[in-house]
Structure 1
Amino acid sequence: MRNRAVDWWVGIFVLLGIAALAVLAFRVGNLSGFQYGEGYVLHADFNNVGSLKVRSPVKLGGVTVGEVTGIRIDPKTFQAEVSMRIEPQLKLPVDTGASIYTQGLLGEQYIALQPGGMPQDLKPGGTITLTQSAVNIDQLIGQMVFSKAEGGSGSSGSGSGASAIPNPPGQ
């Protein structure tokens, strides 16, 4: 009888562990977010979207107000065109800016909106023209290493005219 009770508790514990892992997987995969079935679509063109994905959040002041619904390459400009669905009650000015940021340890990327001050609102299907692309960490590190190497070789050159080794006495 006692073995049977222990078996039940172990089974319940295993099921709770599996449920916790499933919830974690949905959160990491951004699959549990609110579905924006209603709302209006806006577009924004970026030079580099990094690892932005469909269903990534769109935030305004840290609050999720929409989601990315599509990413494609514009064949004329060769820029990434991002489509996003925004909550229907949120009206954004025509001079709104959009930036791609990274949050958290896992590096989830999202679009952050910065509303402007113009009295006219973006129409559904409109395009946000003020954009800032994703930061490429590899490129930044490469630039930093290159600038350090370039700066280090320039300061040790013989163009300064001053010698670090003093002349021996009597010469």
Structure 2
Amino acid sequence: MSIDVVQNQTEINAVLGEFKRDRDSLIPVLQSIQGRLGYLPPEVISAVAEHLGLSESTVYSVASFYTQFKFKPSGKNIIKVCRGTACHVGGGERILAELERQLGIKPGETTPDLQFTLDTVACIGACALSPVVTVNENIHGRAVVSKILEAVAQKKGVAVCQCP
């Protein structure tokens, strides 16, 4: 067993010890484990199923239904590009394409160094500020490629590409 799996198992066991063995605890247990580990590694499904007396397929079905749960580690910095109508019309697709090019990943992927995860969302809810991109919890309204790349570069600690 690798060190990561042992460390994960220690965290998983700590979380499970905080919850009753009740099926109503399923989502809070998954949320708590993901809060500690940043995602739900494979060993979570069986451990949670055993603790709560549920089948592994039930635990996986619930975890995979909700988009809040991740099965792969996310990057240290989460970039979300709005794909709502106003943001699409305002240039969100161009921003997304440039982020894909600069980071070398597609939406739903994480850079190999685990520094960035690129995601899209149906709507951020700030249509008057379109196009909108979030970098971690910072909202960038009326976003332009150069400003978003500048925000990403600050997180990377590198120089910014001079893109339009």
Normalising by structure 2, we get a TM-score of 0.27
Bigger radius of gyration, 1 or 2?
1
The TM-score normalised by the length of structure 1 is 0.26
Structure with higher strand content: 1
